[in-house]
Amino acid sequence: MPQNVLGVIGGSGFYQMKGLDKVELMELETPFGRPSDPFYQGRIGDIEVVFLSRHGRGHRILPSEINFRANVFGMKQLGVTHLVSVSTAGSLKEEIHPGELVVPNQFIDRTFKRPETFFGDGLVVHVSLADPVCANLAKDLVAATSASGAKVHDGGTYLCMEGPQFSTRAESNLYRSWGASVISMSAMQEARLAREAEMCYAALVLVTDYDCWHESVAAVDIGEILRVMNLNVDKAQSAVSALAHTLGNRPRSCSCQDALKNTIITDGTAIPQRLIDDLRPLVGKYL
């Protein structure tokens, strides 16, 4: 039976994965360049866990500068089957308070500078992203977060903006009118690429503020964001650790593991061999 491997991409404030045993530092090269940072590979209970700091040590990489493809491809190279991305966000709903957590089940993409696929250059692939989050993994993540004592909202829509500036008030109110729940700058590309990599994917969002729409907020205050973020990080660490114990080596029963099946449109004889070799971790079982 294939073993599960849990990948964790940590965002602002979540720069390391506590509780990892037998840790190895893995420096990887990918067909898409170098990832944000070295990967930390270890174990929590019975499951292997791989951690990556999205913004790099010292938080030196802007959201628009993140090499999302290298990050997720590196996770695939290391055998990751389940990927959780942790990020901070502003709340777009009154009932989602700073200090609480959200496990969204939908996304709206408002980015425009970022590569969004592993494919192209002679290989055309169209995967479904109707439901970008693995329902099974999200359910487990909600339960693990709740068990850690945190207030967690099950479901909601994550609006991914380009940044690095925060929203104008007009934008913030527009996104609220669309029904978005939280706003942040990073998880959308990870959701897209995880689907193409046939990983189960879920996001854990640490709510730090009310963006700028709320009448109690003069503007987004980075000092207040950092204060609430630091309070939330321990909750997120505990939730991810509990998730690792829950997953163990339970068989995958979702369709994520076959997301590329029947999605490769290009005739196999027309695909450059170099491309097949580069992308073998993704397409090897189909080509």
Q: Which two tokens stand for residue 61?
A: 């990489």
- The span from the CA of 171 to the CA of 244, in Å, is 37
> HEC states along 25-68?
EECCCECCECCCCCEEEEEECCEEEEEEECCCCCCCCCHHHCCH
Annotated active-site residue in 211, 221, 258, 277? 211
- The span from the CA of 246 to the CA of 238, in Å, is 12
- Residue 21 appears among annotated catalytic residues: no
Pair 161, 108: CB distance under 8 Å? no
- The DSSP-derived string for 193-254 is HHHHTT-EEEEEEEEEE-TTTSTT-SS--HHHHHHHHHHHHHHHHHHHHHHHHHHTTPPP-S
Annotated active-site residue in 37, 109, 140, 209? 209
- The span from the CA of 42 to the CA of 24, in Å, is 6
- The span from the CA of 156 to the CA of 74, in Å, is 28
Pair 171, 159: CB distance under 8 Å? no
- Residue 109 appears among annotated catalytic residues: no
Query: Given its phi and psi angles, is residue 120 left (phi above 0), alpha (psi -120 to 50 degrees) or beta?
Result: left
Q: Which two tokens stand for residue 85?
A: 């991305």
Pair 197, 132: CB distance under 8 Å? no
Q: Please, what sign has the CA dihedral across residues 283, 108, 4, 48?
A: positive
Q: Mind telling me the catalytic residues?
A: 209, 211
